[in-house]
Amino acid sequence: MSGEPLSDLAMAMLKQAACEERGFALNGRDTKAAARDLSKRGLVLINPSVTRMKITPAGRFVLRDN
């Protein structure tokens, strides 16, 4: 999992989460699955109700390198 590259959807969500102060709104199965993958990698934090995700410093580092 960690060695695999991020999907296009996950990378787009990561970029959007970096832009929004409140975090990226999660709706739909695909976005929630991609958010879980990003969370397992330590790049985002998901709130307990699984409706928003915020980027972590590690996520910002990944964006800076891409």
CATH of residue 21's domain is 1.10.10
Residue 20's closest CA among 63, 46, 52, 58? Answer: 52
Q: What is the pLDDT of residues 2-47, one digit of tens each?
A: 578 899 999 999 999 999 999 999 999 999 999 999 999 999 999 9
Count the Cβ atoms, other than its own, within 10 Å of residue 28: 8
Distance CA 66, CA 23 (A): 20
pLDDT of residue 66: 79
> Which residue type is seen at 22?
R
pLDDT of residue 2: 56
pLDDT of residue 3: 75
Q: Has residue 1 been placed in a domain?
A: no
Count the Cβ atoms, other than its own, within 10 Å of residue 14: 24
Q: Has residue 24 been placed in a domain?
A: yes
How many domains does the chain divide into? 1
Distance CA 59, CA 29 (A): 22
Q: What is the pLDDT of residues 49-59, one digit of tens each?
A: 999 999 999 99
